[in-house]
Every structure is written in structure tokens, then in C-alpha cells.
Structure 1
Amino acid sequence: MHLIVMRHGEAGWHTIDQERELTEAGRASVASVAADIAESPWRPEIVWCSPLVRARQTAAIMSEIINCPVIEKDFITPDDDPGRCLDELLEVVTSPLMLVSHMPFVGALSTLLVDGHRRGIPFMTSQAVLLEMPVVGPGCADIRAQFLP
């Protein structure tokens, strides 16, 4: 399975956390990363995104450029347990799949899949990594590519 894990684009701080929107710079950097992913051999067939505004906006830009559907998932918000997402990934047959979420979740999930623990690696806004897994499980993934704005 191929899984692209992405942190949402840069968002403003003018409102409560759940309603933060992408800045113009955030939209531009997401579009740049989306263009790189669209030209790669790992174009996602579907995008899962957090229900928070900035993740939904990021996923919408990805969807428009890559031409794939977006499904909101309520278990990939900033402080959710990456183990729950791992359980959901076990049911997935779509590959490559893209997941758009937040820190610390994206760092914790990626570290769980690559290293088998949840301490979490840092992600910049709009950064994405491609994980390759022969099977879905802790410590089973390798980072195959990185997409930076």
C-alpha cells in the first residue's frame, strides 16, 4: 500500500482553532505540492481529510488538481489517536491513499507506521510524505518520497 500523509497548508490565527482558514501563502504552497504529487507515479485515488476548515481547504485544492474525491474522517484531527487510524487503514483497498491532517497527528501516525512508536516527527505546513507498506502495521512502512512546498 502507498499512503501519502500531508499536513494542511499555512493557516491564519484570527479565529478559533476549528475555524482557521488557509492563508494565500498556504493555498499557494498546497497547490505547488499538489502539482508535484499529480506528476508523480503515486497520484492518490482518494483523499481522507480532517473535518477542520484548514484541512478541508487543503484537501479541496488537492482534489481539484489531482482530480480525486475527498472524504472527511473524524478520527484524524490534531489530537486523535493514530492507532485508530491504523485500524481504519487495515480496511482500505485503495492505493495510493492520501490523508490530510494536522500536527501532532501526522507526525505521530507517520512515526508509528515507520518506526513503531508514537513520539512523532515534525511536519512543515503543506509537507507530504509517501509511505510504502507491504502490510499495514506499526514499523512496516518506509518513506519513499517527500513533497515540500
Structure 2
Amino acid sequence: MEDGACSLTKEGQQKTEKIAKRLLDLGLHFELIATSPLVRARQTAEILKGVGLSSQIEECKYLAPDGDIFNWLKNWLEPKKYSPNTQIALVGHEPCLSSWAEILIWGEARARLILKKAGMIGITLPETSSPLGHSQMFWLTPPKYLL
């Protein structure tokens, strides 16, 4: 588990800002950036907001390294009742986020998706059924392709 007090390095900040600007150039925008409470994740979320990818950040304890997707769905996502087209960016940690993506797509974690630091997985949740095992991945990009 990572040290929750560690900050992004200068290089990490610059890399994240370049990638965030590239995502903005590609036309991405999020209604909300939900972030882990850990320092580096929070700094990453602030960079995403700072380049204009969203105007809102919300800290979400479920995105911390010990977070659980089932608690996140039940206690954070479902009660918010977002419209089907809502785009939310989740800023968290590995291997949690790629495992969450696999559970949403395949119904179980398979340790097949690799998400590098500053990488991105795009997932569409279904409108009418449980997202577990019924979601669709539309984007998996390592950071090197966005720099």
C-alpha cells in the first residue's frame, strides 16, 4: 500500500498536467472528479480540474487503497442517482482501479487490465441492470500515448 502522505513529484505533476491537457484536447469533460483522500490522488484531481476537465471535485473514501467497489456502488454511486450520460472521473490507486474495472466489465477481477500511473480506463455503466459484469470498456490508454 502506498504512503498516503506522499506528494506527486515535480515530474509526476508535469506528466499529469500534459496528459490532462491532451484529454481536454480530445474533448473529454467530466461532471465530477471523485478522488481518493490520499495526497497524490487529490493532487492529480486538482490538476485535472485546473486544466478544465471538470469544475467539481469530491473526496471519496471508497477510492482509498483499502476501498471496496461493492461499498462504493451501494453507498456512493447508487444514492446519487446520476443520469445515464453522466461522466465521472475516478482518481485512485492500483491495483484497485483496474480490479474495479474488471469487476464492472467481467463480473470478477482477473488481473488482466494494466493501468499505469496517469493512465485511463473508460467504462460505460448499463442503464437498466447492475453494472457488475454488465459494463462496457470503451477506452484503455497508457500515458505514453497521451504525452
Q: Which has the higher strand share?
A: 1
User: Tell me, what secondary structure is at the counterpart of 1:91?
Assistant: helix
Question: 1-side partners of 2:110 and 2:63: how far apart?
Answer: 16
Q: Is the 8 A contact 2:115 2:142 kept in 1?
A: no
Describe the superposition over 1:67-105 as per-residue Cα deviations: whole angstroms up to 9, x where unpaired: 421110111111221111222222341610111000121
TM-score normalised to structure 1 length: 0.80
Tell me what 1:141 maps to: 135
C-alpha RMSD of matched pairs (Å): 1.9
Larger radius of gyration: 2
Tell me what 1:114 maps to: 105
What's the CA shift for 1:41? Answer: 4.1
Q: Which amino acid aligns with 2:49?
A: S
TM-score normalised to structure 2 length: 0.81
Tell me what 1:74 maps to: 61
Aligned-pair identity (%): 25
**Residue 25 (structure 1) aligned with residue 11 (structure 2):** yes
Tell me what 2:122 maps to: 130
User: Tell me, what secondary structure is at the counterpart of 1:48?
Assistant: strand
**Residue 53 (structure 1) aligned with residue 45 (structure 2):** no
Q: Is the 8 A contact 1:51 1:74 kept in 2?
A: yes
User: Tell me, what secondary structure is at the counterpart of 1:62?
Assistant: helix
Aligned residues between the structures? 134
Comparing 86-95 with 129-138, greater Cα deviation is found at 86-95
Per chain length, whose mean CA-contact separation is higher, i.e. which structure has more relative contact order (CA < 8 Å, sep 6+)? 1
Question: 1-side partners of 2:103 and 2:55: how far apart?
Answer: 26
Structure 1's unaligned 5+ residue stretches are: 1-15
